[in-house]
Amino acid sequence: MLPKDVDPATLTSNLNDGAVLCIEAPKKALEQPRERSIPIQRGSDGDKAPKVVKKQMIPKLFHLITNLQIYLMCNFAENWDK
C-alpha cells in the first residue's frame, strides 16, 4: 500500500549491479503556495543590502534534496559500509 502523498503513476524501480532493488516513489506535487518574500539582512546593523528568499522555493528544495538522497543511496549502496 502506498502513502496518500505518493503518485502511483510516477513509481520507478531499478535493480543495480549489486542486486539491490531500488523503488522510487516521488511524492505528489505540492500545492503552489502564494508567493511571499522574506528579507534577510546580513551583519548586526543590516549594513549589506537585504537578500530575498521566496517561500515557495522551500518545499521544492526539500523535495530535490530528498530525491537526491534516495538516488545516492540506491546507486551507491554497496559503498556505504566501506
Alpha carbon 67 to chain centroid distance?
5
10-59 pLDDT, tens digit per residue, is: 889 989 888 888 888 888 877 766 777 777 766 665 555 545 656 777 88
User: What is the number of domains present in the chain?
Assistant: 1
Quick check: is 41 in a domain? no
Residue 74 CB burial class (10 angstroms; 0-12, 13-18, ≥19): middle
Quick check: is 45 in a domain? no
Helix (H) / strand (E) element for 1: namely none
Quick check: is 63 in a domain? yes
The sign one gets for the Cα dihedral 59, 61, 64, 69 is negative
Domain limits at 56? 1-29+50-82
The confidence score (pLDDT) of residue 81 equals: 55
On whether the pTM is more than 0.85, the answer is no
Quick check: is 75 in a domain? yes
Quick check: is 34 in a domain? no
CA angle 70, 61, 34 (to 5 degrees): 140
Quick check: is 44 in a domain? no
